[in-house]
């Protein structure tokens, strides 16, 4: 049984799709790129990267929608078939072994603040990043920011 301190439940707006993350995510990205702005209809996307096998589907049958991405390799966005809310994504670079759970779909999103702000070169000028928060104009070096435990978990997934 997972440590309850690191169990996170969430789902879509209509509650058809419900899921549970059974551990702390590897890392939480606040992405300010223009693609994320367009896809979310907001000024950024807040995604918790976690191993796919640590996300349990509790109810519903979400559907996967293939969308274009800035990389040109596409993205799979998993949505509720009823209310159409995106609950997580799979990016081509990370493959199906990792999910990028939309933090806003968690029952308690405040439990997972961003670990890093990325693509700040294209952030909206009125978005203020907290002083001292790690922030990068484009991306960062994983080894410089991720905890050793998260790096080991990622390595275990990719072999």
pLDDT for position 73: 72
pLDDT tens-digit readout, 92-123: 777 899 999 999 999 999 999 999 999 999 99
CA distance 48 to 108: 13
Mean pLDDT of 22-29: 98
Confidence of residue 5 (pLDDT cuts 50, 70, 90): confident
The confidence score (pLDDT) of residue 126 equals 97
Domain count, the chain: 1
pLDDT in tens, 39-89: 888 999 999 999 999 999 999 999 999 887 777 777 899 999 999 999 999
Average pLDDT, the chain: 93
Helix, strand, coil percentages (3-state) for the chain, rounded to 5, are 25, 30, 45
What's the pLDDT score for residue 72?
73
What's the pLDDT score for residue 2? 58
Structure letter (DSSP) for residue 70:
T
pLDDT band at 91; cut points 50, 70, 90:
confident
Q: What residue numbers bound the domain in which 137 lies?
A: 4-158
Which strands, in side-by-side order, build the sheet including 8-11? 8-11, 18-21, 55-59
Residues found in the chain: 159
Could you give the CA distance from residue 120 to residue 125 in angstroms, rounded to a whole number? Answer: 10
Domain of 91, CATH number, reads: 3.90.1590.10
Closest by CA position to 45, among listed 14, 19, 67: 67
Does residue 120 contact residue 53 with C-beta atoms inside 8 Å? Answer: no
Inter-residue contact 33 to 118 (CB < 8 Å): yes
Asked whether residue 1 carries a pLDDT value surpassing 60, the answer given is no
């Amino acid at each position: 049984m997972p440590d309850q301190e690191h169990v996170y439940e969430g789902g879509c707006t209509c509650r058809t799709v419900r899921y549970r993350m059974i551990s702390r995510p590897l890392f939480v990205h606040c992405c300010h790129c223009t693609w994320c702005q367009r896809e979310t209809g907001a000024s950024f996307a807040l995604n918790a990267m976690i191993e796919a096998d640590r996300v349990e589907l509790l109810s519903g049958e979400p559907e996967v929608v293939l969308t274009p991405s800035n990389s040109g390799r596409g993205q799979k966005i998993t949505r509720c078939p009823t209310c159409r809310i995106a609950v997580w994504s799979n990016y081509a670079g990370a493959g199906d072994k990792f999910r990028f759970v939309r933090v806003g779909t968690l029952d308690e999103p405040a439990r997972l603040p961003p670990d890093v702000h990325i693509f700040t070169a294209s952030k909206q000028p009125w978005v203020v990043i907290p002083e001292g928060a790690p922030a990068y104009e484009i991306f960062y070096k994983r080894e410089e920011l991720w905890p050793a435990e998260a790096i080991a978990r990622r390595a275990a997934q990719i072999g």
